[in-house]
Every structure is written in C-alpha cells, then in structure tokens.
Amino acid sequence: MRLRSGVAIDLGTVNSLVHIHGRGVVLDEPSAIALMRPTGHPTMVGARADDLTGKEPTAVKVVHPLREGVISDLDAAASMLQAFLRRAHFHTSLRLPRAVICVPSGASFIERQALVAAVSLHRPRLGVRLVDEPLAAAVGAGVDPLGNEGVLVVDIGGGTTEAALVVGARMVRVRPLRIGGNAMDEAIVQGIKGELGLQIGHRAAEQLKKTLGLTGGAEGAALVVGIDTAHGTLREDRVEGAVVAAALEHVVAPIIESVEELLWEMPPDLADSVVRHKGQLAGGGALLLGLASRLHAATGITTVVVDDPLRSVVRGAAILLERHYDLLAPT
C-alpha cells in the first residue's frame, strides 16, 4: 500500500516555504509571480519573479499576492502556489493526501477560505487543515502539542506580528497585529527620507534593518545609495544606527505594547511556566538586532530567538502534519 502523502505550507507575505512529508523543506522562495500583460499568463515564480520587482519589462507585471499575511489576489496566489507544488514535486498518492497550511490568527473566515481555495483549486482531493501561525511557531520551537505548559510566543513575519500564549496545541490568548518586517522597511525608507533627504529602495532599507537594527550593529553605521530628494541626483550617504533605530521605533513600539497587553490578560496559573520556558521569538523579525533585549526589558521575561526562526512556522506545521494531524480542526 502506498503511504499517504502530505505537505505543510507556510504561505507568507514575503516568503513561502513548502515541507514534503519524508523529505523536509524542499522549497523556500519569495512569494511572487510574474504575469504577462494582458493575458495574465504566469511566466516566472519565486526568486526569478521577485528579482524583476521595480524593473519589470513593459509586457510583464510582478504580483506579490499576499498582503499582511493573507491573500489579496486569489488567482495569482493559486497560480503561484501550484507552481511551487510542481517545483517541489508534490505528488498525491492513491489515498487522500493531507495538507497543513499556516494562517495568521487574525485572519477572517473569508481570508481563511481564500487560502484553502488557493491550495486546493487544482487539487480537489487534497484534505486541507489550517493552523494558526503562532501555534505552529510554538510547536516548531519545541512546545509539546500534547503538553500542559504555557509558553509566550512572538512570531514576527513580513506582514503580521502575533503574540500568543500557547498551552499544548491551544492558543489561550493572542494579540495579532498587521505589521511586520515590511512595515519596518517602509519606516526606514521614510525615516531616511525625512532625516537625510535621501530616497532609498525597500531592499536597501531591508539591508539596513539587518545590519543596524535597534543597536547599530557592529559598525554603528552603514553606507547607502539613494536619490537626493532636493536635486534628483544619485548620492551615497552614511546612515547612523540611531537614525534606523528611531525609524524602527514606529513599528517596534506597537509590538512591545501588544506583548505587554497580552501578559496583562495572562491567567495567573500560567505565569510560572511562561517565565520558566522564556519568551520564544520566531519569524524573520526575530533576527532584528536588539529586539529580544527590548522585550526582556519591557516584560521581565527572558526572551530568546528560536532555532532557525525563519523556518519555525513551517517546521511546526510539519510536526503537526506528521504526528498530530487529528488535533487540527477540519476546514
């Protein structure tokens, strides 16, 4: 008898990851698709499509079909995802195949159904179950889905941030925000424009975020090239870490506040286990220099970055797919 095939998918605003049962993570690509104008025929997906962003040929339109963690363009998302699954060589078996798909906890019913539709549009035999991203991140960080210990998880993706208190396979409290790494990049773009009169691209802002973060990094400053807003000429300038930190504060402050509000709502019986297990920082935003220390200072809970934070959500979804599928509610 052939074994049941299975796939875990973290369809993110910035990157999408696909884990195939028995093979591990087989795809990690930008969530982008290039479409021909005016037919809408897909020509490229993933990294190749994303590389065209901002410099598309006139006959091509690049679409990033997710916004704030949920689908904003269903047709483009479905085409992109099916291309990803073909590239991952995901083949359905004779038995009904299974899929576990990660979704932001704050997603509406309609947004959740759009995600299911995108996954199953060309694979009607696929049995789809959804898992909230903070829960998947907690399981990916080592939380036992059958356990009874409370853990604080803060998952910062490209479009969303979710602070949650997780017990086993249950979210006891959650605070979702529709801001994340993309909002940080935009804040840096606007901060440098206002402070230095320099217009930079979002990729340059992302690099400054990674290099300087909230602490200034090892060098305390970095060089960046942009367009002088007063003269329209190209200019290289030195960006001090304090400028980036000040810009990031517009996004970091609401994240800190949401975690503090979550802890105010925490059932007292969870306090001991939450402190013992430390705060678990997951997602790409977990790599922001100085963020773990800021959370510790604000909450009094030691906060650590989970192993391989960029893959913590899909890792947890894969564990649920392979060992605890029945814990997830059918869609």
* Structure token pair of residue 177: 């925000």
**Cα–Cα nearest to 283, from 140, 170, 147:** 140
Residue corresponding to tokens 């690099």: 207
pLDDT of residue 69: 82
Any bridge partners for residue 304, and if so which? 280
Predicted confidence (pLDDT) at residue 94 exceeds the cutoff of 60 = no
Q: In whole angstroms, how far apart are CA 94 and each of 5, 8, 82, 126, 329?
A: 9, 19, 20, 11, 23
Beta-carbon contacts of residue 55 (< 8 Å; ≥ 6 apart): none
pLDDT band (50, 70, 90) for residue 4: low
- Domains identified in the chain and CATH numbers: 6-135+313-327 (3.30.420.40), 145-179+250-310 (3.30.420.40), 181-247 (3.90.640.10)
Please give the span between the terminal C-alpha atoms of the chain, in angstroms, as a whole number: 27
Predicted confidence (pLDDT) at residue 2 exceeds the cutoff of 70 = no
Predicted confidence (pLDDT) at residue 17 exceeds the cutoff of 90 = yes
pLDDT of residue 22: 87
Predicted confidence (pLDDT) at residue 53 exceeds the cutoff of 90 = no
Predicted confidence (pLDDT) at residue 56 exceeds the cutoff of 70 = yes
Q: Kindly calculate the radius of gyration of the chain based on its CA atoms and give it in whole angstroms.
A: 21
Residues 127 and 99: beta-carbon distance below 8 Å: yes
Per-residue pLDDT tens digits for 280-308: 999 999 999 999 999 999 999 999 999 99
Predicted confidence (pLDDT) at residue 8 exceeds the cutoff of 90 = yes
Bigger pLDDT: 108 vs 1: 108
Which whole number is the average pLDDT over 192-217?
96
Pair type for strands 66-67 and 42-45: unpaired
pLDDT band (50, 70, 90) for residue 70: confident
CA–CA separation, 161 and 259 (whole Å) = 10
Predicted confidence (pLDDT) at residue 1 exceeds the cutoff of 50 = no
Residues 161 and 139: beta-carbon distance below 8 Å: no
Asked whether the CA dihedral 302, 298, 212, 69 is positive or negative, the reply is positive
Residue corresponding to tokens 């309609």: 110
Per-residue pLDDT tens digits for 116-149: 888 887 676 788 999 999 999 999 999 999 999 9
Kindly list the strands in the beta sheet with 221-228, ordered across the sheet, starting from the edge strand earlier in the chain.
198-199, 221-228, 234-240
pLDDT of residue 124: 67
pLDDT of residue 197: 97
pLDDT of residue 95: 65
